[in-house]
Amino acid sequence: MRPWEIQPECYDELFARKWQDVAERFAGALSVPEPQAHRSPVDSYRVRAEFRIWHDGDALDYVMFDSEAPRDPVVVRDFPPALAPIRERMEPLREALTGNRELRRKLFQVEFLASRDGDCVITLIYHRRLDEAWDAAARSLAEQLGAQLIGRSRKQKRILFRDYVVERFAVGRRAYHYRQYEQSFVQPNAPVNEQMLTWVWERSAHASGDLLELYCGNGNFTLPLADRHPNVIATELSKSGTRAANQNLEDNRVTNVAVVRLSAEEVSEAMAGAREFRRLAVLPRPLAAYELTNVFVDPPRAGLDDATLACVREFSRIVYISCNPETLLDNLKRLAPTHTVGDLAFFDQFPYTPHLESGVVLEKR
């Protein structure tokens, strides 16, 4: 199924088949509880959309490419998976670009990022250098569309107002506001992300002790988890990720979290006492002074490497969010001698595709 041709009438069947297949693989390999299955809306769920721009004389269109015919552009006039603020601006933007020589000249790609409250950033990407003439035309268009507009070309980024949207997620007792930056990683499905945040928060209700978080990104899970632990050390290698996480903590007045720019491998070395890192100086107290009995991980598709597995194996409680059931299952098998699976859930971050997000809570034997 091509991503711009979703079939909402088939959603229930496709989702049930997908999560049941994964659940059977887990049950066949490990002793796991009955999993919970969390649905996605059938449309208007994606926070991002990207399109190539196709010029044909005076015409200008959004196009995408089918993997089975990668050289044949398919014109896209609507993109049902995208949030409403994206879909509502697609046609007005296309019409405005079509009639504006300054904004359409050597334009080859458009990217949208939106929040459910209506905030929207539109990035126009060019094969030419942008100047003040572009600024003037883009500023007028941004006001017309009620959106933030960014221009990009090689070694150039022109921000007219700001380069992020603000998304709000309601979790437990409060609502958290997140700055989600253009061209930085964010969870793609906003409604399902809110379900994941709530699931993690609820399962941490009776956790005791401090928390170590690996791969914290922009603080997506960090903010609600800080409500469940006296102290949190959140780690992330990306400079833009740590910068966004610190900004989101400040915006939400969360004060019991220290963000450290370290990779998971470096954290493992620090926890084992194998290396000292000057970047740990941002902690308000020595690492050994924390009561780190809990660890939260949300790794990339490759899962946890050997060193990180050895590190998390020492924690009493592991909460693991995974975007790849195959690597998660492999990691769980290797953790099985020391930990049992107490909770298992599947989240449909990627409707109409084979991909599935998973959540696991493990307790030390």
Span 53-91, pLDDT tens digits: 999 999 999 999 887 777 889 999 999 999 999 999 999
Rg for the chain, CA atoms, rounded: 22
What class does CATH assign to 8-42+185-364? alpha beta
**Any residues with CB less than 8 A from the CB of 15 and at least 6 apart, and which?**
37, 39, 40, 348, 351
Collapsed DSSP state (helix, strand, coil) of residue 355: coil
Average pLDDT over residues 223-240: 96
Find the length of the chain.
365
Average pLDDT over residues 326-336: 96
Average pLDDT over residues 17-37: 94
Tokens 């109409």 belong to residue: 352
Q: Are 256 and 219 in contact (CB under 8 A)?
A: no
**Cα–Cα dist 65/109, whole Å:** 13
Torsion of CA 336, 205, 222, 208, to 10 degrees: -70
Tokens 């998976």 belong to residue: 81
Average pLDDT score, the chain: 95
Q: What is the pLDDT of residues 262-284, one digit of tens each?
A: 999 999 999 988 888 999 999 99
User: Is the pLDDT assigned to residue 2 strictly greater than 70?
Assistant: no
User: Is the pLDDT assigned to residue 176 strictly greater than 80?
Assistant: yes
Assess whether 10 carries a catalytic annotation: no
Q: Is the dihedral of CA 184, 189, 194, 199 positive or negative?
A: negative
CATH number for the segment(s) 48-164? 2.40.50.1070
Q: Are 292 and 315 in contact (CB under 8 A)?
A: yes
Give the pLDDT band of residue 244 (cuts 50, 70, 90). very high
In 136-163, which positions are buried (b, 16+ CB within 10 angstroms) versus exposed (e)? ebbeebbeebebbbbbbbeeeebebeeb
Angle at alpha carbon of residue 136, lines to 131 and 138, rounded to 5°: 90
Q: Say if strands 232-235 and 210-214 run parallel, antiparallel, or are unpaired.
A: parallel
Check if 8-42+185-364 and 48-164 are the same fold.
Answer: no
User: Is the pLDDT assigned to residue 1 strictly greater than 60?
Assistant: no
Instruction: Note the pTM of the prediction, 2 decimals.
Output: 0.94
**Any residues with CB less than 8 A from the CB of 143 and at least 6 apart, and which?**
none
- Tell me what pLDDT residue 17 has: 95
Q: What is the pLDDT of residues 299-316, one digit of tens each?
A: 999 999 999 999 999 999
Domain boundaries, the chain: 8-42+185-364, 48-164
- Tell me what pLDDT residue 34 has: 93
- Tell me what pLDDT residue 172 has: 93
Assess whether 357 carries a catalytic annotation: yes
User: Is the pLDDT assigned to residue 3 strictly greater than 80?
Assistant: no
Average pLDDT over residues 92-101: 97
Output 199 or 71, whichever has higher pLDDT. Answer: 199
**Cα–Cα dist 184/164, whole Å:** 9
- Tell me what pLDDT residue 69 has: 78
- Tell me what pLDDT residue 360 has: 97
Catalytically annotated residue among 194, 213, 236, 357: 357
High-pLDDT (> 70) share of the chain, %? 99
Listed residue (145, 186, 243, 217) closest to 48, CA to CA: 186
User: Is the pLDDT assigned to residue 32 strictly greater than 70?
Assistant: yes
Catalytically annotated residue among 202, 323, 326, 363: 323
Give the pLDDT band of residue 175 (cuts 50, 70, 90). very high
User: Is the pLDDT assigned to residue 5 strictly greater than 80?
Assistant: no
